[in-house]
Amino acid sequence: IRFFMNIKRPIGITIISILIILNGSFLLFWGIATFIVTINLSSTFDQLDSIPFTLQSNNTSLQTSDTDLLKNINYFLYFIGGIITLFSLIHFVIAYGLLKGKSWARISTIIICIVSIIANILIILILLTVFNMIESLSNGQSILGGNILTMIINSIIVYYLYRREIKDYFHNVNKKSSFSSSLDDLR
């Protein structure tokens, strides 16, 4: 019984939880900002009524007076804002789970990190194919650097969460909580 009472959370779990909370806060900010921009766009779109507008890009020009197109863009932005906000809330729940030593939070973090690594590899490949490598490296250093840094951090997190002592920590905390609930049942 004494063994279960002295389970200390590794400092790395606290650091990872803080990083996840910071990322969740960043996502929440962008989710709210998306809603605010969309609300402002919505009021602007309502004033347009059926005034024709032109979208131009390089050699292509699109002219329309269809306000439904604008409303669909608006709905799409609300959808994106909702998804971003949902992901921010998921980050907060996962960080809480990590701080409490829940195995599902460890597994969720590993999955999110692996998906992020794959997504960042794809983003880098797209950047390198869309732009000439030299142009990309000179003009997009911060984009590539950010993606590479994100991949490194996520790789370290995955490695850390797979270490034996970290897996044992989550296993022992879960064993402790089931042991405690068994004792509560006996009372």
Give pLDDT tens digits for 9-42: 999 999 999 999 999 999 999 999 999 988 887 7
Q: What do you get for the CA distance between the two ends of the chain, in Å?
A: 16
| Average pLDDT rounded to a whole number, residues 79-108 | 95
CA 107 to chain centre: 15
Residue 108 forms beta bridges with which residues? none
Residue 67 or residue 10, greater confidence: 10
On the question of pLDDT at 94 being above 80, the answer is yes
Residue 156, both tokens = 């370290």
Q: Where are the alpha helices (DSSP H) in the chain?
A: 2-5, 11-48, 67-99, 103-130, 133-139, 141-161, 164-186
pLDDT reported for residue 74 = 81
Match 């405690």 to its residue by tokens.
Answer: 180
Residue-averaged pLDDT of the chain: 81
pLDDT reported for residue 27 = 93
Q: The pTM is what?
A: 0.71
From residue 132, alpha-carbon distances to 127, 129, 139, 141, 169 in Å are: 9, 7, 10, 13, 47
| Average pLDDT rounded to a whole number, residues 110-129 | 90
Residue 57, both tokens = 């890009």
On the question of pLDDT at 95 being above 50, the answer is yes
